[in-house]
Amino acid sequence: MNSQPLINNTIKKIVSLQVPHQQSIDAAVRRQSQLTKPEGALGKLEILAEFIAGVAAVPNPTLHRKTIMLAAADHGVAKEGVSAYPQEVTEQMVKNFLEGGAAINVLANSFKIDVKVIDAGINISSPIKGRLVQASLGKGTNNIALGYAMSYTKATDAIARGIEIFLEAHAENPTNIIGLGEMGIGNTTSAAALISAIGRLKPATVVGWGTGINPSQFNMKVAVVEQALDVNKDLIDDAHLMTSPEKGISFLAVLGGFEIGILTGIALGAAANRVPIVIDGVISGTAVLLASLVTPGIKNFTIPSHLSPEPGHKIVLEMLEHKEAIFDLQMRLGEGSGAALAINLCDVACQLLNNMSTFAEAAVSTRSPAIKTEEHK
């Protein structure tokens, strides 16, 4: 795999795009003002449609094909007892995804969203049946509490493979919007370590409760992240001195996960093709944060679906300069579940923009001119 050239070419394509595409946004705004409603009455739905127009560079965007790409992998740090669930749950949940029994399947079926499940590096005990995209980079990462997660070469390959996965799927069936989903026992620990390292933050302010750990496990999780930052201090310091794209690749190599790397690449591939990217929770947010270290312009393509109770999620969204998410339902499941809900709202927003009648079409009177009153002396 010629990983670095693929990443470099993808970056060049992203940089060459005008995003947001102001002409398309202006046209969408003009149409919004002509629809049979008070100006701004649909609130954030209007803003969503205009944002999507600016990414896709079309004044009337349609979301005929919607996709969640769900990458799964195992993490060596799970051996430290940072999760309430054993590591084999990663493999078991992937089988559940493929059989259609998970929350993301129910949501996706409800909203007519395609789900692609990707083996980014699962510690598989037996062959998995079903339509699993094969992209394994190994049977899980190294334990970041003891050293780096993966080699720089493997991190580069993970991002490049993510780009390839998006490009292959998009060539076969072009998608209009993509959501990022994930599964991996221990991956909230990896995400917390990445956010702490990139933001130079204390782990205690970033680490969350993940899969529902108890207070003792939470304290252990904080200690494990602190240990990971200490053990890898020199590599983290080196990463801070780097520029794009090496900076993003280096942080992934030191503290990341294979699924996080794959999602980073998927985000880059989507951006290069003007496909809006919907962020789910803290893991997919961390993948997009890494993508922003590969090329800063990626931020302009992203939509934050929801705000998770995980403290690191709010921090990531702030790092990506997102003032607020679409909704806050206290969701912390992952899988792309929040992204699926947001994609449905994005679809509705575009349908309203395109299918509502204008005042002229419906023969509805527009707003009355302001009543002018004469100043009394």
Structure tokens at 339: 């992204």
CA 287, distance to chain mean position in Å, is 7
Number of residues assigned to the chain: 377
Residues 164, 13: Cα–Cα separation, whole Å: 15
Residues 214, 205: Cα–Cα separation, whole Å: 17
* Signed CA dihedral, 147, 153, 157, 160: sign only: positive
Structure tokens at 96: 């559940």
Residues 117, 95: Cα–Cα separation, whole Å: 10
How many Cβ atoms from other residues are within 10 Å of residue 64's Cβ?
11
Q: Which residues are catalytic?
A: 335
Residues 298, 307: Cα–Cα separation, whole Å: 20
Structure tokens at 76: 């060596």
Residues 57, 41: Cα–Cα separation, whole Å: 24
Label residues 36-50 b or e (16+ Cβ within 10 Å = b): eeeeeebeebbebbb
Question: What is the largest distance, in Å, between two alpha-carbon atoms of the chain?
Answer: 90
Taking each helix axis from N to C end, the angle separating 337-355 and 103-111, rounded to the nearest 10 degrees, works out to 10
- CA of 220: how far to CAs of 81, 82, 207, 213, 250, in Å? 8, 7, 11, 10, 26
